[in-house]
Amino acid sequence: SDLEDLHLYATPREQRFRRFASLEFEGQLYMTPYDFIQAVTSDEPKHAKKWRSLSKQELNQILMETPPVWKGSSKLFRNLNEKGVISYTEYLFLLCILTKPHAGFRIAFNMFDTDGNEMVDKKEFLVLQEIFRKKNEKREKRGDEEKRAMLRLQLYGYHTPTNSVLKTEGEDLVPRSYWDTLRRSTSQALFSDLAERADDFSSSLSDTTLLVHFFGKKGKAELNFEDFYRFMDNLQTEVLEIEFLSYSNGMNTISEEDFAHILLRYTNVENTSSYLENMRCSIPEEKGITFEEFRSFFQFLNNLEDFTIAMQMYNFASRSIGQDEFKRAVYVATGVKLSAHLVNTVFKIFDVDRDDQLSYKEFIGIMKDRLNRGFR
């Protein structure tokens, strides 16, 4: 019951991780690859979770069967299924990957590559553990310190002092989001400082599926950008395939209505039925959305920031836009070409007053929620 009480002191992301995690090793919670897929494609776990304790022998066996990074594919998580362990920090990292454009992968890699040798080693990658932990400490709710300490032990595997957030001359170095941590405000000096102390905060950590996949069973391998890029691209593709296949029933397409259902999940839209009814009336004959169309739209969503800037430059920020303008703005901003049928379907979903114009501000607001899967 004490452990269940911790839910009250957890942030929404922590709560979701605890709800979907199914494994526990030496007091720390882990997701399996199957748990992670469920967490990003389902509202609730299929079954009530009870954390199963792993023995050292069981963990070692799981890690022994982890494939190397060059054997990665867009079915990696499905193939591993229950045979893998993912820490809370890695869960946050994987969520970052799902919402970012391919151009951002190079930025992430370069931030990890503290010595600039075009390779990332295990020690450099483990800096992520400390960065995300420090980011999370800034977001802690005030409450029972003993409970928060127990929660940190569950999520990170070791106790952390509550006043250990990095600061220099009174300036807060921890940016607003996890991605900002990797991209903007965290300086090379900060990464180097943490890298020097990586041995201190990693000595008590257990290996995970991701660490073994990237750096080998002995942890001596190095990760190059091509493998890093391929892993990220494969993960994005895998999650999209799973969502698509859950509606396609073995067919090559999903219906326009199913596409609308997927699009409106995890958003702040309270009454989705009006959007769906609007689309049914506007598209009476079903043509279907292919996986390539489906994937291209979510590639566009991952570039939503650039699209927003492009729209502002077009001076459409305060007025509605037509299909041709929308399609051109997407291509100019992201390099993604959306099919005419896909653009028409999006317009029919969101064109509530049926004037074949899209409310830019409303669309952007809803899509930002969808992009971040409810954790905007």
Q: What digits encode the pLDDT tens for the residues 91-142?
A: 988 988 888 888 888 887 887 787 788 899 998 888 876 776 666 665 555 5
Least confident span in 51-55, 185-189, 337-341: 185-189
Average pLDDT over residues 307-315: 76
Q: Is the pLDDT of residue 175 over 70?
A: no
Does 241 reside within a domain? no
The verdict on 157 and 24 lying in the same domain is yes
The verdict on 170 and 267 lying in the same domain is no
The answer to whether 180 touches 96, Cβ cutoff 8 Å, is no
Average pLDDT over residues 255-284: 81
Q: Which two tokens stand for residue 46?
A: 């299929």
Q: DSSP state, 254?
A: E
168 forms beta bridges with 171
Amino acid at 30: Y
Number of H helices, E strands in the chain: 21, 11
Average predicted confidence (pLDDT) for the chain: 80
Q: Please give the helix or strand (H or E) that residue 224 lies within, else none.
A: strand 223-224
Least confident span in 25-34, 132-141, 178-187: 178-187
Residue ranges of E strands in 44-131: 52-53, 119-120
The verdict on 50 and 141 lying in the same domain is yes
Does 235 reside within a domain? no
Residue 161 — pLDDT band, cuts 50, 70, 90?
very low
Pick 38 or 275 by higher pLDDT.
Answer: 38
Distance separating alpha carbons of residues 337 and 293, to the nearest angstrom: 9
Per-residue pLDDT, 198: 56
The residue among 166, 197, 229 that closes a domain is: 229
Per-residue pLDDT, 127: 80
Distance separating alpha carbons of residues 243 and 265, to the nearest angstrom: 11
The residue among 171, 200, 229 that closes a domain is: 229
Percent pLDDT > 90 in the chain is: 34
Average pLDDT over residues 207-211: 94
The answer to whether 331 touches 310, Cβ cutoff 8 Å, is no
Q: Which has the closest alpha carbon to 352: 254, 266, 260? A: 260
Does 84 reside within a domain? yes
The verdict on 206 and 300 lying in the same domain is no
Amino acid at 87: S
250: left (phi over 0), alpha (psi -120 to 50) or beta: left
Residue 310 — pLDDT band, cuts 50, 70, 90?
confident
Average pLDDT over residues 345-365: 79
Question: Cα dist. 215→9, 83, 120, 128, 219 in Å?
Answer: 34, 18, 9, 15, 5
Percent pLDDT > 70 in the chain is: 79
Residue 271 — pLDDT band, cuts 50, 70, 90?
confident
Least confident span in 185-194, 265-274, 305-314: 185-194
The verdict on 260 and 186 lying in the same domain is no
**b/e sequence 8-42, b meaning 16+ C-beta within 10 Å:** ebbeebbebbbbbbbbbbeebbbbbbbbbbbbbee
Least confident span in 42-46, 200-204, 219-223: 200-204
The verdict on 269 and 225 lying in the same domain is no
Q: Which two tokens stand for residue 165?
A: 């957030």
Residue 266 — pLDDT band, cuts 50, 70, 90?
confident
Q: Is the pLDDT of residue 186 over 60?
A: no
Does 243 reside within a domain? no
Distance separating alpha carbons of residues 303 and 334, to the nearest angstrom: 6
The answer to whether 260 touches 100, Cβ cutoff 8 Å, is no
Per-residue pLDDT, 182: 53
The verdict on 225 and 253 lying in the same domain is no
Does 118 reside within a domain? yes
Q: Please give the helix or strand (H or E) that residue 253 lies within, else none.
A: strand 253-254
Pick 65 or 169 by higher pLDDT.
Answer: 65
The answer to whether 371 touches 263, Cβ cutoff 8 Å, is no
The verdict on 214 and 272 lying in the same domain is no
Query: Count of domains in the chain?
Result: 2
Does 239 reside within a domain? no
Amino acid at 184: R
Amino acid at 185: S
The verdict on 324 and 192 lying in the same domain is no
Question: Cα dist. 280→223, 251, 255, 266, 274 in Å?
Answer: 48, 21, 11, 21, 10
Does 234 reside within a domain? no
Owning domain of residue 257: 249-371
Question: Cα dist. 131→96, 111, 190 in Å?
Answer: 14, 12, 9
Mark out the alpha helices in 103-221 (DSSP H runs).
Answer: 103-112, 122-138, 145-156, 178-183, 188-196, 198-202, 209-215
Q: Is the pLDDT of residue 247 over 70?
A: yes
Q: Is the pLDDT of residue 19 over 50?
A: yes
The verdict on 132 and 84 lying in the same domain is yes
CB within 8 A of 289, min separation 6: which ones?
253, 254, 255, 256, 258, 259, 341, 342, 345
Q: Is the pLDDT of residue 2 over 60?
A: no
The verdict on 125 and 217 lying in the same domain is yes
Q: Which two tokens stand for residue 313?
A: 């430059």
The verdict on 72 and 127 lying in the same domain is yes
Q: Is the pLDDT of residue 267 over 70?
A: yes
Distance separating alpha carbons of residues 120 and 163, to the nearest angstrom: 30
Does 240 reside within a domain? no
